[in-house]
Amino acid sequence: MNDGKPKYKRILLKLSGEIFGGENKFGFEPDVFKQIASQIIEAYDLGVQISVVVGGGNIIRGVIAEKIGIDRATADYMGMLATVINALLLQEVIEQNKYACRVMSAVHIPAVCEPYIRRRAIRHLEKGRIVIFAGGTGNPYFSTDTCATLRASEIKADVILKATKVDGIYDSDPMINKSATKFDSISYSDFLRLQLKVMDATAVALCIERKIPIIVFNVYEKDNLKKVLLGEKVGTLLHP
């Protein structure tokens, strides 16, 4: 029986941009920002140090922009700027609830957020601030999933929690294949062998090296983040 204490001390929560767009996937859904902020605050109140990596797919995706003739590197930088927009909005909603929150970007925009500095990020967490990482890795051709594993490694997070619209990892897309089978847990090697698409191979490869577990769960389900932190069986565990 759970004693109410969190299983993890320091986490990295990965939020894709599409989540912020709600059912439409694009644009901003205010209720989604409020719901996610509420879950983050609920997790914070458990005594967990929380860092967040946000995507920008609800505004622009580098791969899509490339298809309309934009240079891939330029398109990826546009995507990095989109993550900053999402991060600032999420920060605002969190701070409206009287919780301290900092946005740190790998793309330096000093007028609106701090530059990403590893030691400063760790200090923010130790001082009880929620930290949102924006700007991806600061380099084109790398996904925000890769950014999540990189930042988790740098700040020595205990786990990566990948928030999605589905309740875990399946052997095929459950939105298309209604008979898709869900994994309660799966090893990194099996994940790569089956070529599952929940996270890109570069991100998973870094987790293999650093031995960081990943839990994939449905962030739209009320209290799911809290349940994961309390060790309840939610989503899929991706492990060494």
Domain assignment present for 151: yes
**What's the pLDDT at 1?**
44
Domain assignment present for 163: yes
Domain assignment present for 224: yes
Domain assignment present for 120: yes
Domain assignment present for 146: yes
- At 68 the three-state DSSP class reads coil
The residue written with tokens 């939610």 in the block is 234
How many angstroms separate the CA atoms of 74 and 64, rounded?
12
Q: How confident is the model at residue 23 (pLDDT cuts 50, 70, 90)?
A: confident
**What's the pLDDT at 62?**
66
| Number of compact structural domains in the chain | 1
Q: How confident is the model at residue 25 (pLDDT cuts 50, 70, 90)?
A: confident
How many angstroms separate the CA atoms of 108 and 114, rounded?
7
Q: Which domain holds residue 207?
A: 10-239
- At 91 the three-state DSSP class reads helix
pLDDT digits (tens, 9 = 90+) for 31-80: 999 999 999 999 999 999 999 999 999 998 766 777 788 998 998 999 99
**What's the pLDDT at 60?**
87
Residue 198: other Cβ atoms inside 10 A: 19
Domain assignment present for 137: yes
- Gyration radius (Cα) of the chain, Å: 17
How many angstroms separate the CA atoms of 186 and 177, rounded?
20
CATH of the domain at 186: 3.40.1160.10
Say if CB 37 and CB 44 are below 8 A apart. Answer: no
How many angstroms separate the CA atoms of 92 and 5, rounded?
28
Q: Residue 216's beta-bridge partner residues?
A: 162, 236
Domain assignment present for 4: no
Q: Model's pTM, two decimal places?
A: 0.93
Domain assignment present for 1: no
pLDDT digits (tens, 9 = 90+) for 148-203: 999 999 999 999 999 998 899 998 888 888 889 999 999 999 999 998 888 888 89
pLDDT digits (tens, 9 = 90+) for 111-125: 999 999 999 999 999
